[in-house]
Amino acid sequence: MLDWNTVIRLANEGTPEPDRVVRKSDEEWRAQLSDEQYRVTRKKGTERPFSSEMCSLFEPGLYRCVCCDTLLFDAGEKFESGTGWPSFTQPVKPNAVAYHADPSHGMTRIETTCNSCGAHLGHVFPDGPPPTGLRYCINAVALQKEKAALDRATFGGGCFWCTEAIFRELAGVHAVESGYSGGAMENPDYASVCSGTTGHAEVVQLQFDPGKVDYETLLARFFEMHNPTTLNRQGPDIGSQYRSVVFFHSAGQELAAQKAIEEINHSGRWPQPLVTQVEPARQFWPAEEYHQDYEKRNPYNGYVQRVSIPRLNRMKAKFPDLLKKMTCTRSL
């Protein structure tokens, strides 16, 4: 993951080679781009702050270079900085954006350019939100947005065998992967996470189609499938790795999670207040292969029969309209 020290090093030593290189003459760029696009991207101009609706656009999608169509940013890394320019916490790939020391205007800043065609994008600053601490301040006119077919969601609600099995059955959910997130240890494994010393939680990361199931529906099912009032515990599973947590991938997801928690607390559905944590998405580490599809692969496992399958069947009975077609409820 990029951080400020890495950015400084790349500005001094050079960015990794891009996946492709696009070269055109100045005349070709002039013919392709609008006057404002040309001024900003090819002549290092700056658009007026708050001049684009893109600043307040947080829908899922991808942002490409307006000059060469190189993929630069994911909307999941976009946040409201209040500066008047679209802001991101990191690019989609380490070699998508190039970095250059910029001594203009009596100060030294780090300029960002498209690593494929050299288009001026903006600057990067060390005052962004975690986990990178970076703010990529980008001219909206240098970007073009395409709507993503799928969005991401990451939830921790106890043992990932159970949560994976339930989410996998919901219509609009294309993929579910069990893994670990929220801690400091790199490349954690099941044994280290179970020790409770890594800071990681057992989580599932979803790939879902917002046109078929919205994030609010996924949140609602998440809060239905586990007890969000027990701290670091779900049923027989005890430890911080089993904590209730929502890792949001966008400002919209953060607001939706906070709103859901507030509404549930006010509803009186639970006698105690929710202890669910709402945190920015961090590095997701996929769990070992034998944990994937665990409930489906191990239907006669004792834990699966006592805990996973009953939870899955309760959700199926309660929300039959949300299930994928051609599914059947397992019986013990």
The span from the CA of 207 to the CA of 213, in Å, is: 11
Question: Minimal CA–CA distance to 183: which of 308, 277, 75?
Answer: 277
Question: Residue 305 is encoded by which pair of tokens?
Answer: 């029969």
Catalytic residue numbers, as ranges: 137, 159
Please list the alpha-helical segments (H only) found in the chain: 4-13, 26-32, 35-43, 160-168, 190-194, 215-225, 251-267, 294-297, 302-303, 309-318
Q: Are 182 and 165 in contact (CB under 8 A)?
A: no
Question: Minimal CA–CA distance to 117: which of 14, 21, 25?
Answer: 21
The span from the CA of 319 to the CA of 227, in Å, is: 18
Question: What DSSP assignment string belongs to 82-103?
Answer: SSSS-EES--SSTTTEEEEEE-
Q: Are 248 and 269 in contact (CB under 8 A)?
A: no
Q: Are 143 and 63 in contact (CB under 8 A)?
A: yes
The span from the CA of 323 to the CA of 166, in Å, is: 10
**Residue-wise burial string across 229-264, b where 16 or more C-beta atoms lie within 10 A, e elsewhere:** bbeebbeebeebbbbbbbbbbbbbbbebbeebbeeb
Beta bridge partner(s), residue 237: 234
Task: Give residue 328's identity as a one-letter amino acid code.
Answer: C
Angle at 132 between CA 210 and CA 116, to 5 degrees: 75
Identify the residue whose tokens are 């994008």.
121
